[in-house]
A and B are shown apart, each in its own frame.
Chain A
Amino acid sequence: DIQMTQSPSSLSASVGDRVTMTCQASQDIRKYLNWYQQKPGKAPKLLIYDASNLETGVPSRFSGSGSGTDFTFTISSLQPEDIATYYCQQYDDLYTFGQGTKLEIK
């Protein structure tokens, strides 16, 4: 089975900062990688699909890149409402989520 490893596990940044987090797959998953945002007490929300495609209605400050085993998720200018835990998820072979990156405001 495919393992997904996210880093860092937690991240503290200031409003306006550029924030980057990564997701590594245990084997080649091509572009079959999604990113979700989960705010406290809420269900996850799809932000990015197929590694780099922005879901409809999601602000353009969110972006994703990568293919194969290494992927990056970026927030270009952190906003207070972006405080959440972010999860990657592969669908090359069944479905596996990473353990999450918790983003906090400094």
Chain B
Amino acid sequence: QLQLQESGPGLVKPSETLSLTCNVSGGSIRNSIYYWGWIRQPPGKGLEWIGTIYFNGSTCYNPSLKSRVTISVDTSKNQFSLKLSSVTAADTALYYCARLYSSNSQNFDYWGQGTLVTVSS
């Protein structure tokens, strides 16, 4: 059974860089029909797609966050990571990593449990 687990600091200071890692177990991140993504949810609000990455390092970002986001992949560790720079209180959210099935359809079919990141001094 595929499992995704987010990890990283729960508290980040304003103007600093948020860094999270998603560890994938029970399946290979190299599987060609999947991309891997980050989605966030501010407290009490809806879902916002941040970006996705393929195992070869190809990325796609939300235009509204593109200038501040970097997603990378480490196939040797079966994990991928998120960096979001110059954070503000508006970046406080529950951050999810998820698998994006991408073959004859596209959907986020497996999700991590989420990790809360608070931006505060």
* Residues in chain A within 8 A of chain B (CB atoms): 1, 32, 34, 36, 42-46, 49-50, 53, 55, 87, 89, 91, 94-100
Question: Could you tell me the dominant secondary structure of chain B's interface residues?
Answer: strand
Is there contact, CB below 8 Å, between A87 and B106? no
Is there contact, CB below 8 Å, between A43 and B111? yes
Is there contact, CB below 8 Å, between A43 and B114? yes
User: Which chain B positions have C-beta within 8 A of A45?
Assistant: 111
Question: Could you tell me the dominant secondary structure of chain A's interface residues?
Answer: loop
Given contacts A43-B96, A43-B113, whether A94 and B49 have CB atoms under 8 Å apart is yes
Is there contact, CB below 8 Å, between A44 and B46? no
Q: Residue of B at shortest CB range from A32?
A: B106
Given contacts A43-B96, A43-B111, whether A100 and B106 have CB atoms under 8 Å apart is no
The one of B37, B63, B105 that contacts A49, using a Cβ cutoff of 8 Å: B105
Residues of B25-63 whose CB lies within 8 A of A? 37, 46-49, 52, 60, 62-63
* Residues in chain B within 8 A of chain A (CB atoms): 37, 46-49, 52, 60, 62-63, 96, 98, 105-109, 111-114
User: Which chain A positions have C-beta within 8 A of B63?
Assistant: 1, 94
Tell me the minimal C-beta distance from A64 to chain B in angstroms. Answer: 12
Interface centre among A43, A50, A91, A97 (most CB of B within 10 A): A43
Is there contact, CB below 8 Å, between B105 and A87? no
Is there contact, CB below 8 Å, between B62 and A94? yes
Is there contact, CB below 8 Å, between B105 and A95? no
Is there contact, CB below 8 Å, between A97 and B46? yes
Given contacts A1-B63, A94-B62, whether A46 and B47 have CB atoms under 8 Å apart is no
Is there contact, CB below 8 Å, between A43 and B106? no
Is there contact, CB below 8 Å, between A44 and B49? no
User: Which chain A positions have C-beta within 8 A of B112?
Assistant: 43
Q: How far is the CA of A55 from the CA of B96 in the complex (A)?
A: 20
The one of A87, A94, A97, A100 that contacts B60, using a Cβ cutoff of 8 Å: A94
User: Which chain B positions have C-beta within 8 A of A32?
Assistant: 106
